[in-house]
Every structure is written in C-alpha cells, then in structure tokens.
A and B are shown apart, each in its own frame.
Chain A
C-alpha cells in the first residue's frame, strides 16, 4: 500500500512537469531542453530558501518564478539572437548547472530539518499530523495539480491562450492575425519552465533533499508522460481531455517506474529504459509505416 501511495505522490508532483513539456513540445512545438536545468533550479531555489527559514509557500512560489525566468531566457536566445531552439535550451541548461551550485552552495541540500509544504497543512488541519508523510504530500500535490489543471485549461481557452496555441500550429497564419510570434514563444517557454520548476520544488520537499544532478533526464521523463497521455487519449480531442490525459500520463509513468524498480530493475538503468521507451514511442509510427509500405508492395 505504502509503495503505491509513494509512487502516486511522486506522480502528482510530476504532473506539472508533464504539462510544462506538453506546452513547449506540443503547443509551441519548440524542442526545449531547458527542463533538465529548470527542474533542478526550482528544487535548488526552494531548498535554499527553506533552509533560510522562508515560508514553504514563498519558497515554492519563488521557485516557479525563477523557472519562468530560465524559460524566458531560452526564448530570448532563440527569438532575439537567432540561436536554434535546441541550442538555446542547451545553453541555458548548462549555465543553470553552475547557477544551481551557487544557489545551494554545495552539490546537495538536506531538507529534513526544515519546514515544507506539509508544515502549514499540519498547522491548518491538525488531523493530518498523524497521516504518513507520503499521504499528506500526495493530497497536497493532488490539490495543486487539480488547481493548476483548471487554470491551464482556462488559460489556453482565453483569447490570449488561443493565440499561443496557434503559434505552434501555424506561425504564418498567426502573424497575419497580428500576433508577435516571438513574444508568444518567450512567454510560452516561461510558463512551461515555471511548471517544470514547480515540479522540482515539490519533489525536493517530498524527498527531503535537492541535488544538483536531480534534473538529468527531466525532459525525457516529461516526454514519456506526454506520450503515455496521448496514447491514453483514445477519443475526444478537447483541450480538457488532453490536459487530463497528459496528467494521467505522468501518473502512469511514475507507477511504471516504481513497478520496474520493485521487480528488480537496477536504478542505474532507469534513465536508459526511459530513453528507450521514448525512442520506441517516437520510432514506432515510422517503423509501422515502413512495414505497411513494405507489405503493400
């Protein structure tokens, strides 16, 4: 039981990350690898602030803000300086490695003696103090995910959000409609990496530490969640369905990871397996297409 709750709690914390990757990869169609840095950035800033005694809500909010800043910079490199999308993200991600070490002062920070988001919840609802930590965090993360999911769906349906969606769909059209494509990419990447940094901040508080290497493979994990979500979405193309399914993809991904580790997968192989999974999902349509073309001849 505890095993499943732990996996689900991690899954709820990963939902924001999956939405962030969905925003950049699917909505903006921008190959953004900033998440490998901004995930850690969110964790590092939240951890450093918590150790300084900041309120967990403040620490988490500031983590989101710095993640947005990182994404915004990636956007600027691409739109104003003409750096390719991939390289813009790589530059920011690489730079963030040093920034994260500066923020933390060393390669990892323990949060075992500091307040976390669970602390104000315990104060507000004393009954929760007797819950296992996994469960408390699970409820908090679920509440955050529901709130964010509602906000995200609403945002993408507003006049402004619609314009942002069209940027990835048809840049020529949206320019003819008077939208500054560059501005939309900058703001969209800020939003995406804000979500990713939030995930980082939540995970750090849940696992009780921030580590400078914890962001490695974030984008690939997020892609895995997005792909799983798209596979789960059998029918219905509405925005709400898509957003819910991407969240479900994040949950399924964490459950699969937990399951794989439980049946004896060496944790060292985790990123290898995730990469192979994403590669398979990307290559499958092409291989299938080729197989069909081959049989028809």
Chain B
C-alpha cells in the first residue's frame, strides 16, 4: 500500500520567486492498484511522481510505501521499493553497456552488489526467456549495446528492468510519449501484461486522456498542485474523453494550459 499525506513542495525560481508545485496532496493506493494521473502542464503530476521516486525531499507531508516511511530517504535508498520508467527512452538504461548488463544491474536494484560475476549462463538464459515474452525480437540481442536498439525496444526493456525485481511501486512517467505510435502501442500492451502478471501497484502519468481512461482502474486529475478529481469504478467507466476535456475547460479561467489528447508526438 502507498500512502501520501499532506505532501507539499515549492520550488524557488532563479529569480527568487517561490512557485508552489504540490499543495497538500493526499493519496492512497491499495496494493495492486493501477492509477493513471492526468493534469494540465505544471499541474504537479510529474512533481508528484518525482516526489515518490525521491528526486527531491518534500517541504512537508509524508510518503509511506508498504508501511515503510520513505519521506526522508534518498533516491538510491528507496530504489529497493520502486521500479521506474522515464519518459526519455535514453534515460532508463546505459547506452554503452549491453542489454544483458543493463538487465543484471536492474535485477540487483536496491541490493548489495558484490564482487562476483553475476552475469552467467543461468542469468542470461533467464533474461533471454523474459525478453522473448516481449515478442519484439530482442531476445537474441543480449550482447548488443543498449544504445543500438530503437526507442520502443529500449523502453520495453526498461519496463522489464523496472520489474525484474518486483517493485512495491511501479512509476511510469509518460513512458510512451517519446515513441512513434506503433512502438507506443506495443509498449502499452507490454505494460498491461507486466502489471497484471505481477499485480503491481502502479502509478502512470500520462498526457493522453484515452490512455488514462483505458488503462488501469483509477484515474486522478491534478491541477495547480492538488488532486481535483478522483475517478474509479462505475463513475470512471461512464467518463468519456470529452467529459475530461470539459473538466479541463472549466479549470481554464484559472491558468493557461495545453492539452494533448493523442498519443502521437507533435509533428
């Protein structure tokens, strides 16, 4: 279970102006729950994800993951509990190391790394089998450098990396936004498979209303650092993309924003 209580964070701009990014966010995720997060630009959705990951420490409030208070624990310390896929496909892996090496490093997430050759026949066979299930023809590229793979392949492998050791919380940060539509679709399918297979507690930030409503079982909408809508069950099923757009429009008078409602990257 993930519990966020009264989370607040302000950033100081270079000019000295203080900009509130999170204004008392309360959020509880049941074990195995798949939550999607949407919001206007600057609504705090990515800031919330970063706060959970430990990219910065909050000004006040608390974060507990599986009964562990991680509010003040540095990013590398809480990594044991968190699997993460970044928006930028280049950010989640090491380009000049091989696919197998990347998988090995990820499998040891949050554990003590020893002076042993962990990448052996047994682990390689396991990785090959795992990659084969992606059906993206990457299982024979264990020794290829990560940097030589396409963005979609890399993002799918990053997803495997994030879940090779079961995380208490999976964080997906617009992880299909930088991909072409076909690759994005493939990665979304893989995402659903992985989350279902391991019953992972998942928080996915997305800019796509369709994705937000079609994936997972609960959607929250953020605006100006607060949660302004929390949809699940029947209410969520009855919600259409147009309803969400209307809700955004009703917030419009408060702030300038842009909404992209397609997974296709801007041309």
- Point out the residues of chain A lying under 8 angstroms from B104, CB to CB: 159, 162
Chain A CB within 8 A of B93 CB: yes
CA distance A289 to B134 in the complex (A): 39
Tell me which residues across on chain B come within 8 A of A237, comparing CB atoms: 145
Q: With contacts defined as CB atoms under 8 Å apart, how many contacts are there between chain A and chain B in the complex?
A: 84
Q: How far is the CA of A170 from the CA of B91 in the complex (A)?
A: 7
Chain A residues in 8 Å Cβ range of B108? 159, 163, 177-178
**Complex interface: stretch among B78-86, B125-133, B182-190, B241-249:** B78-86
Which residue among B91, B94, B115, B116 has the maximum number of chain A CB atoms within 10 Å of its CB? B94
**Stretch of A58-66, A97-105, A150-158, A262-270 on the interface side:** A150-158
Contacts of A180 in B (CB 8 A): 76
Determine the distance from Cα of A169 to Cα of B80 in the docked complex, in whole angstroms: 21
Residue among B82, B97, B116 making CB contact with A159, cutoff 8 Å: B116
- The 5 A-B pairs at the shortest CB distance, nearest first, are namely A178-B79, A178-B110, A169-B94, A159-B113, A159-B118
A157 to B106 Cα, complex, angstroms: 15
Residue of B nearest to A167 (CB): B94
A90 CB to nearest B CB, Å: 28
Among B53, B95, B113, B116, point to the contact of A170 (Cβ < 8 A). Answer: B95
Given contacts A176-B79, A178-B76, A237-B145, whether A163 and B92 have CB atoms under 8 Å apart is no
Contact A175 B94 (CB under 8 A): no
Give per-residue flags for A159-190: 1 if the beta carbon is below 8 A from chain B beta carbons, else 0.
11111011001101111111111000000000
Instruction: Find chain B residues with CB under 8 A from A154 CB.
Output: 117
Interface residues of B (CB under 8 A from A): 53, 75-77, 79-80, 82, 84, 86, 90-97, 101, 104-106, 108-111, 113-119, 145
Chain A residues numbered 71-130 whose CB sits less than 8 Å from any CB in chain B:
none
Given contacts A173-B91, A174-B105, A178-B111, 16 further A-B contacts (CB under 8 A): A158-B116, A158-B118, A159-B104, A159-B108, A159-B116, A160-B113, A162-B97, A162-B104, A162-B119, A169-B94, A170-B95, A174-B94, A176-B53, A177-B108, A178-B109, A179-B113
* Complex contact B110–A160 (CB within 8 A): no
Is the contact region of chain A dominated by helix, strand, or loop, or is it mixed? Answer: helix
Chain A residues at the B interface, C-beta cutoff of 8 Å: 154-155, 157-163, 165-166, 169-170, 172-181, 237
Collect the chain A residues with CB atoms within 8 Å of residue B94's CB: 165-166, 169-170, 173-174
CB nearest neighbor in A for B108? A159
Q: In the complex, what residues of B have CB within 8 A of residue A178's CB? A: 76-77, 79-80, 108-111
| Chain B facing A: main interface SS | loop
CB distance from A181 to the nearest CB of B (A): 7
Q: Is the CB of A158 within 8 A of B115?
A: yes
Determine which of B77, B95, B101, B115 lies in contact with A160 in the assembled complex, contact meaning CB atoms within 8 Å.
Answer: B115
| Least CB distance, A214 to chain B, in whole angstroms | 33
Q: Which residues of A contact B96 (CB under 8 A)?
A: 169
Q: Complex: how many Å from CA A176 to CA B95?
A: 15
Beta-carbon contact of A176 and B84 below 8 Å = yes
List, sorted by A's number, 12 A–B pairs whose CB atoms are closer than 8 Å: A157-B119, A159-B108, A159-B117, A162-B101, A162-B119, A166-B97, A166-B105, A173-B93, A175-B75, A175-B79, A177-B106, A178-B80
A245 to chain B, nearest CB (A): 15
Question: In the complex, which residue of chain A has the Cβ closest to the Cβ of B161?
Answer: A177
Which residues of chain B are within 8 angstroms of A157 by Cβ–Cβ distance?
A: 117, 119
CB neighbours (8 Å) of A162 from chain B are 97, 101, 104-105, 113, 118-119
Contacts of B53 in A (CB 8 A): 176
Complex CA gap A165/B101 in Å reads: 10
A169–B113 Cα distance when bound, in Å, is 18
Determine the chain B residues whose CB is within 8 A of the CB of A177 once the complex forms: 79, 105-106, 108-110
User: A121 CB to closest chain B CB, in angstroms?
Assistant: 30
CA distance A166 to B96 in the complex (A): 9
A181 to chain B: which residues have CB within 8 Å?
76
Q: Which residue of A lies closest to B86 (CB)?
A: A172
In Å, the complex CA distance between A170 and B118 comes to 20
**A163/B105 in contact, CB under 8 A:** yes
CB contact under 8 A between A173 and B92, given known A162-B105, A178-B80, A180-B76 = yes
Shortest distance in angstroms between B39's beta carbon and chain A's nearest beta carbon? 23
